[in-house]
Amino acid sequence: MTPSPLADLSAQTSELLSTIASLATLDELTEAEPRLTGKRSLLSTLQKSLGSLEPNARKDAGALLQEARREVQAAFEARRSTLAAAARAESLEADRLDLGDVVTNSVRWPVRAGHPGLVASTQRELEDVFVGMGFTVADGPEVESDWYNFEALNIPPAHPARGLWDTFYVDLGEPETVVLRTHTSPTQVHLMEEAVAKGSLPIHSVMPGRCFRRDTPDARHLATFHQIEGLVVDRGIAFADLAGVIETFTRAYFGPDIASRLRPAFFPFTEPSAEFEVTCTICRGEGCRTCSQTGWIELGGCGMLDPAVLSAVGIDGDEWSGFAFGFGIDRCAQMRHQIPDMRALIDNDTRFLEQFS
């Protein structure tokens, strides 16, 4: 008679529990996780050996093995919680300040009230402009799945448009590809999905936030930047409505002496599409380094929602239409305050920052 592969299960389980209890740090626990609870652990190996047993014996042995696995997993998670709490307490103790020393020495550096950074204050100003036009303000996650960042926006795998963003990919151990969002457009997808689920169409909203692309920093580009995008989904929306919103925004934010123009462009998620430009506020249209001698600065893109985007979230394109637009908040700040080089926004030079207090 073939001996059961689980004959020593009780002793083996006790040994695993003792090993877990002996691990002293989170790093040790993480390193040991594959051999304790992973696919190549002892209990996983025993699971594979059950096939050699008779059906009745296999059922009883499987139940014992599952109970052992639950016991080991519970002990592992409990040990993780204990070690995490200990590490947190140790970190807090290391960061603890001697208040007596702080009070004694703080008089050397008079405390001054802080103020929002230029990008933050610009974002608030932009939000105020659009709220005044009847838009709501929405927010979304900075880490998105490939579907929300690309596919729902009519950018399938291998689409040439993906190469324009040189995306930062994030390894979270998820089966689906995860990226740092390259635009705030995924928030538009979330909003449309929510509106469909709740039956709350139409949508008139803007979405400000931080985005990430592998751009080489120069006078007009940063790898980490900020956008504000807008979305309108309603009945009877036309391109003229989009142009009117762009014109109203330009005059409200930059002033009546700054002109805007729409140039034909291509974006996978809008059709027709356009690029939105304003007169360069640095040279007033004469041509300079910032505008590459053109007299115009591109703020972003816009266009009518592609029917494929509406279809992806379950919106009937025959009943509803809409438009989307997106501008760089950093670029707006650059143009509004006539900053020749956008890299000044991240240099942390107090001489620069204090000008906007």
The pLDDT value given to residue 346: 83
The pLDDT value given to residue 1: 47
Quick check: 313 and 151 in contact, CB under 8 A? no
pLDDT, tens only, 231-267: 999 999 999 999 999 989 988 888 888 888 899 999 9
Q: How far apart are CA 164 and CA 167, in angstroms?
A: 9
- CATH number at 118-356: 3.30.930.10
Quick check: 304 and 262 in contact, CB under 8 A? no
Quick check: 334 and 213 in contact, CB under 8 A? no
Helix (H, G, I), strand (E, B) or coil at 325: strand
Torsion angle, alpha carbons of 232, 238, 240, 246, to 10? 20
The pLDDT value given to residue 240: 94
The pLDDT value given to residue 101: 56
pLDDT, tens only, 117-127: 889 899 999 99
Quick check: 201 and 310 in contact, CB under 8 A? no
- The reply to whether the predicted model has a pTM over 0.75 is no
3-state SS record for 222-254: CCEEEEEEEEEEECCCCHHHHHHHHHHHHHHHH
Q: Which amino acid is at 272?
A: P
DSSP 303: E
The pLDDT value given to residue 98: 60
Distance between start and end Cα atoms, the chain: 85
The low-confidence residues of the chain, meaning pLDDT below 50, are 1
Strand order in the sheet with 321-328: 136-137, 203-212, 224-234, 321-328, 296-305, 270-279, 260-267
The residue ranges of every structural domain in the chain are 9-95, 118-356
Q: Where are the beta strands (DSSP E) in 102-253?
A: 136-137, 143-145, 169-170, 178-180, 203-212, 224-234
Q: Which two tokens stand for residue 293?
A: 């001698």
